[in-house]
Structure 1
Amino acid sequence: MPNKPRIIKPSWVPVHKREAFQNLNKDKNRKVYNSRKWRAFSKNYKERNPLCIKCKEKGIIKASAVTDHIQRVNVGGDIYDESNLQPLCKSCHNSKSGKEAHGYQEKPRK
């Protein structure tokens, strides 16, 4: 009778220490983004705002995938203030976050 293959888990990250969004290591607000409260808040916000706002400005209809903070939280933006939030698709969010990480400041919307 054949033996079931043994599952080998990576030793460099113990199973009990894994958590969602663990790559946000420099973000002090990681616990907030992993909290049940934020996930429910973000899900509700995306249900009410289903389209990416940046794509919509370009005339493209694309579903939002991320609840993004207009002003970064670690710079002083409020986490649960809806006027500081915008729905973005993954590509727009990655573009915005990459620019912010390298010091680029976007002009505020009017």
Structure 2
Amino acid sequence: MDKGKLEPATVVDHITPHKGDMGLFWDQGNWQPLCATCHSIKTAKEDGGFACSK
């Protein structure tokens, strides 16, 4: 997520959430580097505001 600030990537994010699909999970074309903060923000948005939905 481009916030105009450079931050080291510390997390490998799945561009398209894998939702348990191991093919999508291991697809390197579906990976992107993100800092932990941006990963948490992206995940919360995808999960409807919660970082973990079970």
Q: With the length of structure 2 as denominator, give the TM-score of the two structures.
A: 0.71
Report deviation, 1:96.
Answer: 0.4
Structure 2 match to 1:80: 26
Higher-strand-fraction structure: 2
Q: Detail structure 1 runs of 4+ shifted over 3 Å in the superposition.
A: none
Q: What does residue range 30-109 of structure 1 map to in structure 2 within 5 Å? A: 54=1, 57-74=2-19, 76=21, 78-102=24-48
Alpha-carbon RMSD across the aligned residues, in angstroms, is: 2.1
Structure scoring higher RCO (CA < 8 A, sep ≥ 6) equals: 2
Of Structure 1 and Structure 2, the greater helix share is in: 1
Which consecutive unaligned segments of at least 5 residues does structure 2 have? 50-54
Query: TM-score, structure 1 length as denominator?
Result: 0.38
Query: Number of aligned pairs?
Result: 48
- Cα drift, residue 95 of structure 1: 0.4
